[in-house]
């Protein structure tokens, strides 16, 4: 992904995951001390797929290099609150000559 762009990430989880029963879903991007968490209305969720959109400002806020990405979610099963997570993957944040918000 390039700084200043507006990417949409489509995150496909294993077929045995049903996110429609999740209480909360968090998609977290992190590089060093910079962290961006998307949840709730920021996400489009189907059974095992999450779509998350980043704005120009959000991608500009990250330094260049690998950005960690992980999905965490909570759900209730048999009256017990549970939590699950994906593996952490790396997304490369590349520099952009237009390193500012464009109208």
Q: Domain for residue 20, yes or no? A: yes
pLDDT of 19 reads 96
| Residue 16 neighbours by CB distance under 10 Å | 6
Taking the C-alpha atoms of residue 54 and residue 50, their distance in angstroms, rounded to an integer, is 13
Q: Domain for residue 48, yes or no? A: yes
Q: Domain for residue 2, yes or no? A: no
Helix (H) or strand (E) holding 103: none
Q: Which of 9, 52, 54, 59 is nearest to 34 (CA)?
A: 59
pLDDT of 22 reads 96
Domain of 47 in residue numbering reads as 8-91
Q: Domain for residue 1, yes or no? A: no
| Count of the separate structural domains present in the chain | 1
Q: Which of 41, 62, 65 is nearest to 53 (CA)?
A: 41
pLDDT of 92 reads 97
Q: Domain for residue 73, yes or no? A: yes
Calculate Rg over the CA atoms of the chain.
Answer: 15
Q: Domain for residue 31, yes or no? A: yes
Q: Domain for residue 98, yes or no? A: no
Q: Domain for residue 100, yes or no? A: no
pLDDT per position in the chain (103 positions), as tens?
999 999 999 999 999 999 999 999 999 999 999 999 999 999 999 999 999 999 999 999 999 999 999 999 999 999 999 999 999 999 999 999 999 999 9
């Amino acid at each position: 992904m390039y700084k200043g762009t507006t990417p949409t990430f489509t995150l496909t989880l294993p077929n045995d995951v049903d996110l429609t029963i999740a209480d909360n879903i968090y998609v977290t991007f992190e590089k060093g001390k910079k962290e961006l968490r998307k949840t709730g209305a920021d996400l489009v969720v189907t059974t095992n797929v999450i779509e998350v959109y980043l704005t120009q400002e959000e991608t500009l806020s990250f330094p260049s290099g690998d950005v960690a990405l992980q999905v965490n979610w909570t759900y209730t099963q048999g009256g017990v609150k549970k939590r699950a997570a994906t593996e952490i993957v790396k997304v490369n944040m590349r520099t952009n000559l237009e390193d500012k918000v464009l109208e």
